[in-house]
Amino acid sequence: MISTLLLIVIYIAFISLGLPDSLLGASWPMMHTSLGFDVSNLGYISFTICMGTVISSISYSRLSSRYRTEHITTVSVILTALSLYAFAFLANSFTVFPIALLLGLGAGSVDAGLNYYVALHYKARHMSWLHAFWGLGTTFGPTVLALFFASGRTWNDAYLLMAAIQSLIVLLLLISLPLWKKNEGSSKKVEDVEIKREKSSIADTLRIKGAPIVLLSFFLYCAIESTMLNWSASFTVFSKGLTESQGAQIASFIYWGMTVGRFLTGAFNEKTGDRFMIAAGLILSLLGALALILSTSFIMIAVSVFLVGLGFAPVYPSLLHQTPSIFGMDDAQKIMGLEMASAYIGSSVTPFLFGVISRFTGEGLLPYVLIAFVLLEIMAASVKRKLARS
């Protein structure tokens, strides 16, 4: 019973991780005007958030040797709530970048800590469901924004609501602190794994057969996922001619697709296997991208974006879960840290570069970039399949 209650708390904490992730991209068509930025500057702010995430996720290993997971998670969610309040009340052209960095710093340790904790203490299917609850958080933001925009309210009001929800999640985490003590004996296990990982240098890990292609796979997937999540609203507003409210609604459909898909992945991936789920997801997202190019109506654009999200859904959890089967447990422990780093680099660099390029090409390039990255990911998956067979 205690284990189940704790798992529910972890799921809710992952909702808190997803709440702010979708806000920036969905609110940007309105936000960039009030902040005095060009629409292409979204990439700079997204890059700043991701850099904060990279810093805090890299720092997690050191923090976890001194503090327990629940304490790190609680403080991180507090930082996230503070950054959302700051966005609502203090954001302007000068303060937005420090606030964005604070938001990233809060998110990174939650992501790294809870992913690792669930992988260590719960069955594999909970990894997919954990990311599904992240999806629930991400779908809520664009949905609220669409309602707020339609009623004449501003993006600041939506950020304030998200900050209030984060504050309630902080309260829940504080109340749940005694539940984590049941796993007191697992702390030594976590420390042993971290110590074992630190004995191998990055250079040694990169020499493991197949490591570069696996890291490239994480980079490619997270690069295009982050780019789509950040730029889908702007793409539909500025390239498809939809309203700001409709753009926020469209942004919610990609998150709904990912959420629904990850609940399904958790139910079926033990029967189908990771390689099948990755291949099926990539093909589905490719079909969604092709449909997005041809779509002109709101309904068709929404369906296309939902298909892209549904295709994205199984890829990241399956990439994480298949690592031990490719490398074995010992080498998997060494390489998982670099997988997360590669994922965050892809998430930070590519949306930024797309913003720079879109100044000259416009946002209409987005589905073609999606197709190119998915094809590259399929090629990487083919190489990994040969590696697993060998």
pLDDT at position 82 over 90? yes
pLDDT recorded at residue 272: 76
- Per mean pLDDT, which range of 180-189, 325-334, 376-385 is the poorest? 180-189
- Per mean pLDDT, which range of 202-206, 303-307, 368-372 is the poorest? 202-206
> Where do the domains of the chain lie?
2-389
pLDDT recorded at residue 299: 93
The pLDDT-based confidence of 194 (bands split at 50, 70, 90) is very low
pLDDT at position 383 over 90? no
CA distance 53 to 105: 5
pLDDT recorded at residue 390: 55
- Per mean pLDDT, which range of 14-23, 32-41, 275-284 is the poorest? 14-23
- At the topology level, CATH places domain 2-389 in Growth Hormone; Chain: A; (1.20.1250)
pLDDT recorded at residue 302: 93
The pLDDT-based confidence of 93 (bands split at 50, 70, 90) is confident
CA distance 100 to 87: 8
pLDDT recorded at residue 1: 67
Angle between helices 244-272 and 298-312 (to 10 degrees): 30
- Token pair recorded at residue 69: 């997971």
Between 117 and 24, where is the model more confident? 24
- Per mean pLDDT, which range of 34-38, 187-191, 228-232 is the poorest? 187-191
The pLDDT-based confidence of 189 (bands split at 50, 70, 90) is very low
pLDDT recorded at residue 164: 93
Per-residue pLDDT tens digits for 253-303: 988 898 888 888 877 766 777 888 889 999 999 999 999 999 989 999 999
Average pLDDT rounded to a whole number, residues 121-128: 73
pLDDT at position 122 over 90? no
Between 134 and 111, where is the model more confident? 134
pLDDT recorded at residue 195: 42
pLDDT recorded at residue 264: 85
pLDDT recorded at residue 54: 78
The pLDDT-based confidence of 197 (bands split at 50, 70, 90) is very low
Average pLDDT rounded to a whole number, residues 243-248: 85
pLDDT at position 241 over 80? yes
The average confidence (pLDDT) of the chain is 82
Per-residue pLDDT tens digits for 306-350: 999 999 998 988 887 777 777 776 666 567 667 777 887 888 888
pLDDT at position 191 over 60? no
pLDDT recorded at residue 337: 65
pLDDT recorded at residue 308: 95
pLDDT at position 382 over 70? yes
